[in-house]
Amino acid sequence: MRDFVWADELTGERAEDVRALLLAARETDGRPDVEPGGSLPGEFAGPRHLLGLVGEGPTTALAAYAHLDQRGDAFGRQVAELIVHPAHRRRGHGAAALEEVLRRSSGPLRVWSHGDHPAAARLAERFGLSRARELLVMGATAAEHEWPEPALPDGVRLRTFVPGRDERAVIEVNARAFDWHPEQSAFDIAALREAQRESWFDPEGFFLAENADGRVIGFHWTKVHPANPHRFGGRPVGEVYVVGVDPDAQGGGLGKALTLAGLRYLRERGPEQVILYVEGDNAPALAVYRKLGFDVVETDVQYERGA
């Protein structure tokens, strides 16, 4: 028996059941980045939630979970995450859950496949979804690279982020630098302030570039992830979280300089591994990162249903 329940909020036992499923998936797949306590990762925030149940009465179990972001990305496409509990895989629950998500969503839809699993590719083909986006995870071992001092363009200086003062300047650069990006272009001051309340937030690892007039023209926001026992060798990992350069300041080496400043800082913090996420079709960025010693270690895919 299989039953699907839609909910706009996850509370009480439902929330704990979903967390248990996500933790079981992390133990098998290395992801998602979910902790035993605290709030669920941002990709599972907000309505709607699909719970795929099997069994009856006291033996009922959560076999599959999907989150459907009906607000959509910056271009109005709804976005779905779908995970089957490892103990219930290869029994058709993933296909049934995807069919339900497709039935209850409308318009353009994108569905994530983290790790580019062959099973997800088969499901996408079965339901007529096309491979629309590749998000590459690149990694480098910090000790193996002598990242040099950043060479800044003339008149540009680096400083670190000051909470309560620099939010608007960063968001203005972010909006101009990422007007093409389905997630980052929607990042706003409220989201930045919310991130500052996270335990990992570190203003000393948030570098801003100012021109001679004192205007912020670029930034590099670094992040250190706590150890995930099922990913990257179970050790803490540094991340080139976001590098943004105002379009008017691009082409002069500022992006590389900001990247180097953050990489050197992360190396000093101690993580052995540094990762970053980059779009698979961003050839200029891929070339820069490969020259800095990064190689592709994982691939995430979005499959798309058109309008």
Binding residues: 82-84, 183, 223, 239, 243-245, 250-256, 277
Q: What is the CA radius of gyration of the chain?
A: 21
Dihedral of alpha carbons 256, 259, 263, 269, sign: positive
Residue 49 CA, distance from chain mean position: 19
Residues 97, 117: Cα–Cα separation, whole Å: 17
Number of alpha helices (DSSP H) and beta strands (DSSP E) in the chain: 7, 12
Question: Left (φ > 0), alpha (ψ -120 to 50) or beta: where does 294 sit?
Answer: beta
Residues 107, 77: Cα–Cα separation, whole Å: 7
Residue carrying the six token digits 């400043």: 261
Residues 173, 167: Cα–Cα separation, whole Å: 10
CA distances in angstroms from 72 to 94, 108, 142, 183, 225, listed in the order given: 22, 9, 36, 9, 26
Per-residue DSSP letter, 202 = -
Residue 158 sits at φ, ψ, to 5 deg, of: -105, 145
Q: State the maximum Cα–Cα separation within the chain, in Å, rounded to a whole number.
A: 70
Residue carrying the six token digits 């409308």: 106
Binding residues for acetyl-CoA: 82-84, 243-245, 250-256
Per DSSP, the three-state class of 111 is strand
Instruction: For residue 152, give every residue at least 6 positions away whose Cβ sits within 8 Å of its Cβ, in sequence order, or none.
Output: 158, 209, 254, 257
